[in-house]
């Protein structure tokens, strides 16, 4: 074999190796994040989010507090490349859908963690705001980052359990 063919094979082989390595690392990082999300969702299951502007009357006297959770999550290079290819033919881009889902779930978890830190019993009227971050440069080379902000009103009992002045 000639040295030119060996160099070409080595170059292509190296490229494919690092492509596969990067793809595997990206999948592992995403799986770890999903596992973390599921674990934290189970821990915070007792803190409900109620899609209403008005609290249930059973809450009793509460003070209200604005709480929010925000996150910026980026897409790895390999998923971004696949998304660009899928964009050529159209259809649902699964890698972008999972990116937005992870960001939304993480923002809700951060909102609930803030509410729990203030001893809230529920969060009402939760809204979401999303934005592209580093969405593209002048050559339209997108970076695939999304920011999600979840915000709402936490309801914190004025009187801890058993401490109500009327003995309720």
CA distance 100 to 53: 25
Residue 147 has pLDDT above 60, yes or no: yes
Residues in the chain: 168
Angle at CA of residue 117, ends 111 and 122, nearest 5°: 60
* Per-residue pLDDT reduced to its tens digit, 100-127: 899 999 999 999 999 999 999 999 999 9
Residue with tokens 């259809």: 91
Given a contact cutoff of 8 angstroms between Cβ atoms, the answer to whether 114 and 91 are in contact is no
* Per-residue pLDDT reduced to its tens digit, 12-50: 888 888 878 877 888 888 899 999 999 999 999 999 998
Structure tokens at 35: 């596992």
Q: Which CATH number fits domain 3-157: 3.30.110.70, 1.50.10.10, 1.10.8.60, 3.90.45.10?
A: 3.30.110.70
Domain ranges of the chain: 3-157
């Amino acid at each position: 074999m000639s040295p030119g063919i060996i160099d070409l094979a080595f170059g292509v082989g190296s490229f494919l190796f690092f492509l596969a390595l990067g793809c595997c690392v990206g999948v592992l990082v995403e799986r770890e994040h999903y596992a973390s999300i599921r674990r934290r969702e189970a821990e915070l299951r007792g803190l409900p989010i109620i899609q209403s502007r008005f609290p249930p009357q059973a809450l009793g006297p509460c003070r209200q507090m604005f709480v929010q959770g925000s996150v910026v999550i980026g897409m790895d290079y390999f998923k971004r490349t696949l998304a660009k290819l899928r964009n050529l033919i159209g259809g649902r881009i699964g890698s972008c859908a999972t990116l937005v889902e992870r960001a939304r779930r993480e923002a809700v978890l951060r909102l609930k963690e803030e509410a729990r830190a203030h001893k809230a019993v529920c969060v009402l009227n939760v809204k979401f705001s999303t934005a592209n971050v580093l969405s593209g440069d002048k050559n339209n080379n997108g970076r695939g980052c999304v920011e999600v902000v979840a915000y709402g009103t936490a309801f914190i009992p004025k009187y801890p359990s058993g401490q109500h002045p009327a003995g309720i």
